[in-house]
Copies of this chain bind each other. A is one copy, B any other.
Amino acid sequence: MPEPSFHSRIAAIAADVEACLDGFLSPGLLAGEIARPPRLLAAMRHAALEGGKRLRPFLVIEAAALFGMEGEGVLRAACALEMVHCYSLVHDDLPAMDDDDLRRGRPTVHKAFDEATAILAGDALLTYAFDIMGDAPTHADPAIRASLVTGLARAAGPGGMAGGQMLDLAAESSASPLPCAQIETLQAMKTGALIRFGVEAGAMIGGASLEDRRALTAYGRMLGSAFQIADDILDEEGDAALLGKAAAKDAGRNKATMVSALGLERAKALRDECAARACDALNPFGARANILRQAAEFAAARNH
């Protein structure tokens, strides 16, 4: 059972993220911009505001805090990553992809607006994220900003999240279920890469040593696996009210999940093992990393 400090901390970060995203997605123009069409901005706001737990921003901020870094720049990087996450949800929900009408209990962007607007809102959130990541207020050192940009692009691009969604769609239309190793790759790309990058971004911002960065990358990788397997289990067991979407939808769709590959009990065991290994990876940081350990426990336990 996670300690209360985790819940209050992630809630406080979510409030900061909400306010920061609200500022970014305002009508005001940045130098070099020509105009922000109100309908596009409204769709971007629909996609990015009143969002979920803000796990990825939490990871950026708490990983940076391990190295004593905090403040506006870290929050900006955290929000840039969250925008990329939000764009991916908008595009995944499109009729040509997962065709979902509801997300967190609200109409998806293409239902609340229209398909073309949803495609553009996703494109614009993705693009804006790189603007924020690369811009001076995010970090005093331009070499770190450039690394953040490249790292985010690689986690989200064809060899990461976008590639993972491609594999997921292929698995759905495939006649036979994917073997476990391929599901692992798919999930490491589709959801794992962005979660792992959240932790890595914090390490980059904090100027972590190579050794510390490796430890955090291992943590991020295991956390991502625990999170995704827990999501598969939640879909199998959860109820629609908790999810804000139809439950057991994955099975009906022939989605590649660890539950379908391993069965429910072995999937639960694997989830718990990943969470435990995530915690172990944090050993070099001692008690300073307790809040990240709680995040791993939370990721594994969120269906109870």
A residues whose Cβ falls under 8 Å from a Cβ of B? 29-37, 39-41, 44, 87, 91, 94, 96-97, 114-117, 119-120, 122-124, 126-131, 133-136, 141-143, 145-147, 149-160, 162-167, 169-170, 185, 188-189, 193
Contact = CB atoms under 8 A, between A and B. Distances in A.
B143 A185 contact: no
What is the count of identical protomers in the complex? 2
A97 B94 CA distance: 13
Given A39-B170, A124-B162, A185 B34 contact: yes
A148 to B, nearest CB: 8
Most chain B CB atoms below 10 A, which of A39, A91, A149:
A149
Could you tell me the dominant secondary structure of chain A's interface residues?
helix
B154 A146 contact: no
A135 B153 CA distance: 10
B158 A134 contact: no
Contact of A159 (B36, B116, B164, B170): B36
Most chain B CB atoms below 10 A, which of A116, A120, A133, A136:
A116
A154 B32 contact: yes
B155 A32 contact: yes
